[in-house]
Amino acid sequence: MPDIIALLPDSVANQIAAGEVIQRPASVVKELVENAIDAGATQISVIIKDAGRTLIQVIDNGKGMSETDARMSFERHATSKIKRAEDLFDIRTMGFRGEALASIAAVAEVVLRTKRQEDELGTEINIAASEVLGQTPVSCATGTNFMVKNLFYNIPVRRKFLKTDNYEFKLIVFELQKVALAFPHIQFELRNGNTEVLKLYTSPFRQRIIQLFGKNINQSLVDVNCETSIIKITGYITKPDVAKKSQPDQFFFVNNRYMRHPILHKAIIKAYEKILLPELQPSYFICFTIDPANIDVNIHPVKTEIKFFDEQAVWQILHATVKESLGKFSIVPSIDFEIDRSVEIPVLSRATDVNLPQIDIDATFDPFKPEQKKSVSVRADFSSHSRSLPNNWQDLYSGFENEPKTELRIPNFEPVENKGADDVQVSKQQQFLQVKNKYILTPSKSGLLLIDQRRAHLRILFEQYLENIEKSANAVQKEIFPQVVELSPADHELIMEYSAAINQAGFDIQDFGQNSVVVNGFPAALEQANPQKLVDDLLAELHHAPSQSGTSVKETIALALSKASAIPYGRALGSEEMSDLIDKLFACKNHNYCPEGKTILTIINIEELENKLK
Ligand code: ADP
Ligand code: MG
């Protein structure tokens, strides 16, 4: 067998989504395990010590490498998986950028042992901080054995960013769950020190889910199955009765690659609408099979975001399939399939008209209209009018006196069409009671609505900040007398790393040399913010950022900013303010949970009230 690894020409290398591949031990695990899969391994063992700080070892029984390839594999843009730019649109392997091993070898001490079946002797290479320390023939098993020791030993700042062992190890387990689900025919083993954490035998997909998430999940799994000319969808969703409030197990795979896809996630959640309380989430394990020419995997450095060229059609098909599965298993007594019928005809193509998915977008919203533009900017004062779906929350009250009390056990906060002026008038007289300067209490159709004032405001601000950052809308900014804030080298690096997004959100923070920054302005919403405290708050959040993928950076910053500016507990609110706050809350995409996942509101229904006074 000839050598197979070659350097990508610059023209191809330049088209590769650049970014940091190795952020933490879990990223090393991901890259090495993916390489083992690409090498055709049927058994992969992962051995971890000290949450990956001292050792990450991945052993596979794949095809191994020749002596020359072993050496080549550590070069940047050296890969056996693609050769030309066209190949980027026909990716059938997990890797293709030839960057992972180079990146790992740059930040750790690596020992590679590898042997092909046809070779008598294998090759051992020792490399540390990108420097080859030695290469010798060894006798070893066919396959590849990577030992990555003392990760980030030469970049103390990075090492300092790592979180607790517990947290880092959890992320490693999550990485393994993802590949183990994507490749149920491969055997996996995970050891943490001397403890065996996972031992997964070859199994069908359903069995693999059970191996990973426990026997109990078995009876709640519902088959999802659909094949159309553009995509095949298989997998499982869970019955509504096992839906969870936090940390549901939700997995999407595209051609065996795990992906995050908030929009397709919505297609599933929408299918559960009306049968699930809005604060509950189903688990799902959905696999898409699609011609690689119809997706782009190369949009994200760690390849967890994938673009479907026909996203609307995929959305429709997924939504309809999930709905159908829920219906078929009589989980939903009566479902209205009217809208979805069209997608049962499996001949969609890019040119075909598809019903637009119902995504919550205010079609009348025009960011360029001056009076609306205000809404994209962040305002803390409650009197300004935001992009609210006017008054929909007030439907909660309308006519609650005549409502039979047994009805409406499930709070339904769906936007309903605007009520006439009379209704609005009636609900404007709605009574609000502030309890302990912390909660807002108000009658609703089915009982009493109880809202946490700070969490509600956190949610409102969070969505506004996020929108600003995402749209790069220049948030209203208040200039202040420039103030220099001194930081530790690590904090300085952290702030500078995120400075683009921070400034998009309305800050003006610039590098001031010698580990300090200068704050020239901040979002107008932050009335009396103290720059030092703001930067501290921001850093506290950034330190907790789970990863540096595009979305989470934006969310982290939006969260940090909202926490720094949300109304605190203990602040007395007037009726107008409370009304406005609730109005804006119900205009949010999610009014049930604050961005930190805590419950914002609850309904104490009439029955509960009656029971209390029995
Ligand atoms: P990529 O996976 O994007 O090609 P990597 O830096 O991860 O880039 O790996 C470089 C090359 O090294 C791969 O293309 C492959 O040929 C080879 N390689 C890496 N890991 C293994 C392995 N476990 N078994 C066999 N070959 C491997
Ligand atoms: Mg790779």
How is 508-559 classified by DSSP, letter by letter? Answer: EEEE-STTEEEEEEEETT-TT--HHHHHHHHHHHHHT-S---HHHHHHHHHH
- Centroid of ligand 2 to alpha carbon of 35 (angstroms): 5
* Neighbouring C-beta atoms of residue 505, cutoff 10 Å: 27
CA of 62, closest atom in ligand 1:
24
Look up residue 442 and give its two tokens: 């108000």
Whose tokens are 């098993």? That residue is 141
For residues 390-422, one letter each, b for 16 or more C-beta atoms within 10 angstroms of the residue's C-beta and e for the rest, the string is ebbbbbbbbebeeeeeeebeebebeeeeebeee
The whole-number pLDDT of residue 473 equals: 57
> What is the Å distance from ligand 2's center to 94 Cα?
7
Helix-helix angle 165-182:205-213, to 10 degrees: 160
Please tell me the predicted confidence (pLDDT) of residue 369: 42
CA 89 to ligand 1 center in whole angstroms: 19
Per-residue pLDDT tens over the stretch 352-369: 334 433 333 344 444 344
Q: For ligand 1, which residues put their CB under 6 angstroms from it?
A: 5, 31, 35-36, 38-39, 60, 62-65, 73, 78-81, 95-102, 144
State the virtual CA torsion across 446, 448, 453, 459 in degrees, nearest 10.
Answer: -10
Q: Which of 3, 5, 27, 73 to mutate to test the pocket of ligand 1 (most atoms within 8 A of CB)?
A: 73
Nearest CA residue ID for atom 17, ligand 1 = 73
For residue 248, how many C-alpha atoms fall within 13 Å in the half-sphere facing its CB? 21
pLDDT number for residue 525? 60
- pLDDT reported for residue 539: 80
Whole-number Å distance between alpha carbons of 300 and 93? 16
Q: Whose CA is nearest to atom 21 of ligand 1?
A: 35
- The segments of the chain whose pLDDT lies below 50 read 332-426, 428, 547-550
Please give the pLDDT value at position 18: 56
How confident is the model at residue 420, as a pLDDT? 29
What pLDDT was estimated at residue 242? Answer: 83
Residue at 399: amino acid letter? G
- Closest atom of ligand 1 relative to the 58 alpha carbon: 23
pLDDT at res. 181: 97
pLDDT tens profile 370-385: 333 333 223 233 332 3
CB atoms inside a 10 Å sphere around CB 555:
21
Cα–ligand 2 centroid distance for 293 (angstroms): 20
Strands (E), 336-476: 433-435, 439-444, 447-452
- Cα(550) to centroid of ligand 1, in Å? 25
